[in-house]
Amino acid sequence: MTPLLEVRGLTKSYGRSLGCAEVSFDLWPGEVMGIVGESGSGKSTLLNCLAGLLEPDAGEVIFDTRADGPRDVLRMGEPERRWLARTDWAFVRQNPRDGLRMGVSAGANVGERLMAVGARHYGDIRARATDWLRRVEIDPARIDDRPRTFSGGMQQRLQIARNLVTGPRLVFMDEPTGGLDVSVQARLLDLLRGLVRDMGLSAVVVTHDLAVVRLLAHRIMVMKDGRVVEEGLTDQVLDDPRHPYTQLLVSSVLQV
Amino acid sequence: MTDYNFAYLDEDTKRMIRRAILKALAVPGYQVPFASREMPMPYGWGTGGVQVSAAILTPEDVMKVIDQGADDTTNAVSIRRFFEKTAGVATTTRTAEATVIQTRHRIPETPLREGQVLVYQVPIPEPLRFLEPRETETRRMHALEDYGLMHVKLYEDIARHGRIATSYAYPVKVEGRYVMDPSPIPKFDNPRLKSEAIQLFGAGREQRIYALPPHCRVESLDFEDHPFEASKADHPCALCGATGSYLDEVITDDAGGRMFVCSDTDFCATRRGEAA
């Protein structure tokens, strides 16, 4: 079996300050990788480099494409990378306003990726949008409403539907539960877990919330100052942290 | 005529515009940037069209100017006078006799033939503008043929109105490649964008020129289950009786009286002349 994503020596710095340095890992099909660390530790830089939104200074990101097998996405042309980004990849942002088109209806938001890959049958697009709204627990009667009339949790679920509608194999998530209250967070995590399992998705989830990785991720990487300080199975790392920073992180979680 | 350079613009400017036109003809539907000049009229009154016309006019040309199909409205009359004064070319209102036709918002009803040039005045050349405000991003989308967004707009139309409600400036795909805004012509005119004549589009404020060479393939965007329809008011012309021409609705009194007449005044007058 080949890994879905192979990352080798990924390095990105912003002038003198370091974004992330020499990050390497493999992501296998169906696996969810959690990246944790405090603010400024390079998590988001890493995620943006992986998704082709930022150009790293060095390293390779090799994705197992459907057509040609493993390819370095950093050396692909932009048309090809954009095609990947709207078919096999998905990017769920922390703020749904960044990931949604606020000016058009929920149905158009879900349908956009379908139309971008060539769907030209209005009835089909609408049927699939309806189906996806139902799957993310949004009342299909609201298909023609604009996202700005939705609550924060609904917007986040709409963003997930919009991203998963083309059946991607790899999902990047940047703090998917950030800014939501805890009960909404719990429902969203439950939903995400179900979707990841049912669709056999691989995912890279960036978060500072250890509860999120505990529930979603199979493996985690702990980052500090742009470097990976510890890596392993989620339960192993969280129950028996080795690195002093991980120990600090785990012990900082409030117990209620 | 000694007061002006032929056709108002200086020769270097004309050369610059001609180069843009040649490039636009070579890449149908692609918006070529050009250094638009200040013209003696406000933006929005056809500064782009006037510059394109000035760059292609020769002393032998016969010019016609229409605004919404009519030869006798302010915009058409003043631009026609402008070229009479600055280029001394012959002018006409007869579509068949003209070699250069500058237009705003219509394609003449009489089919154009080889050797004629139709120059459009374009307010906003970018079909993606209202969906994506960043110019850097829209240019990239054109380069990468990333046109999913265009259908999002049509989707929204159907979701809200039950049909594609866009009735003018209806987006087209040119030669299977570039998505283009045909300027605010009614969608009735879209099928007639495939023509024997050369069609040039000038946007003065936005500084873009684009073109359709003769016989160029032009498809209106649509959905399989909501196909494109070239619609018009379902009436015959009240003056000439034509049933296949695009009509203007004219309010005749304040008691609900109205009539539908051809928007192309030359077409209508010619038909009435023949009937009489």
Q: Does residue B275 register a pLDDT over 80?
A: no
Whether A116 and B146 lie within 8 Å, measured CB to CB: yes
What does the pLDDT look like over B65-105, one tens digit per residue? 999 999 999 999 999 999 999 999 999 999 999 999 999 99
Whether B156 and A108 lie within 8 Å, measured CB to CB: yes
For chain B, the domain total comes to 2
Compute the average pLDDT of residues B133-161.
Answer: 92
Q: Does residue B149 sit in the same domain as residue B254? A: no
Asked if residue B227 is part of any domain, the answer here is no
| Spatial contact of B206 and B138, defined as CB atoms under 8 Å apart | no
Question: From CA B265, how far away is CA B248, in angstroms rounded?
Answer: 11
Cβ-based interface (< 8 Å): residues of B facing A = 144-149, 151-152, 155-156, 158-160, 222-226
- Burial degree of A256 (CB within 10 A; 0-12, 13-18, 19+): exposed
| Helical (H) or strand (E) element with A161 | helix A152-164
Q: Does residue B21 sit in the same domain as residue B140? A: yes
CATH number of the domain that residue A180 is part of: 3.40.50.300
Q: Does residue B76 sit in the same domain as residue B160? A: yes
- Which residue in chain B has the smallest CA separation from A112? B152
Asked if residue B246 is part of any domain, the answer here is yes
Asked if residue B3 is part of any domain, the answer here is no
Tell me B129's DSSP state: T
Whether B149 and A112 lie within 8 Å, measured CB to CB: yes
The pLDDT, as a whole number, for residue A142 is 95
Residue range of the domain that includes B264: 232-276
Q: Does residue B183 sit in the same domain as residue B239? A: no
Q: Which two tokens stand for residue A71?
A: 């390819």
- Which residue in chain A has the smallest CA separation from B222? A120
Q: Does residue B68 sit in the same domain as residue B131? A: yes
Tell me how crowded residue B111 is: count the other CB atoms within 10 A of its CB. Answer: 13
Q: Which two tokens stand for residue B109?
A: 């009803």
Question: From CA B53, how far away is CA B44, in angstroms rounded?
Answer: 16
Q: What is the pTM of this model?
A: 0.85
Asked if residue A55 is part of any domain, the answer here is yes
What does the pLDDT look like over A174-186, one tens digit per residue? 988 887 888 888 8
| Spatial contact of A155 and A96, defined as CB atoms under 8 Å apart | yes
CATH number of the domain that residue B180 is part of: 3.40.50.11310
Q: What is the value of ipTM here, to two decimals?
A: 0.85
Compute the average pLDDT of residues A128-133.
Answer: 95
For chain A, the domain total comes to 1
Q: Which two tokens stand for residue A185?
A: 């967070």
- Residues of B with a known catalytic role: 29, 237, 240, 262, 268
Residue range of the domain that includes A227: 5-101+170-253
Which residues are within 8 A (CB) of B105 and not within 5 positions of it... i.e. 6 or more apart?
B67, B68, B69, B168, B183, B184, B185, B186
Q: Does residue B247 sit in the same domain as residue B125? A: no
Asked if residue A161 is part of any domain, the answer here is no
A144 chain-B contacts, CB cut-off 8 A:
159-160
Compute the average pLDDT of residues A153-167.
Answer: 93
Q: Distance from A186 to chain B by nearest Cα, in Å?
A: 32
| Spatial contact of A222 and A230, defined as CB atoms under 8 Å apart | yes
Q: DSSP letter string over B19-80?
A: HHHHHHHHSTT--EE--PPP-SS-TTSSHHHHHHHHHH--TT-EEEEEETTBSSSHHHHHHH
| Helical (H) or strand (E) element with B200 | strand B198-203
Cβ-based interface (< 8 Å): residues of A facing B = 78-79, 82, 86, 101, 104-105, 107-108, 111-113, 115-117, 120-123, 125-126, 143-144
Question: Higher model confidence: residue A189 or residue B33?
Answer: B33
Strand B100-104 relative to strand B117-121, pairing? parallel
Q: Does residue A4 register a pLDDT over 90?
A: yes
Whether A115 and B225 lie within 8 Å, measured CB to CB: no
Q: Does residue B182 sit in the same domain as residue B268? A: no
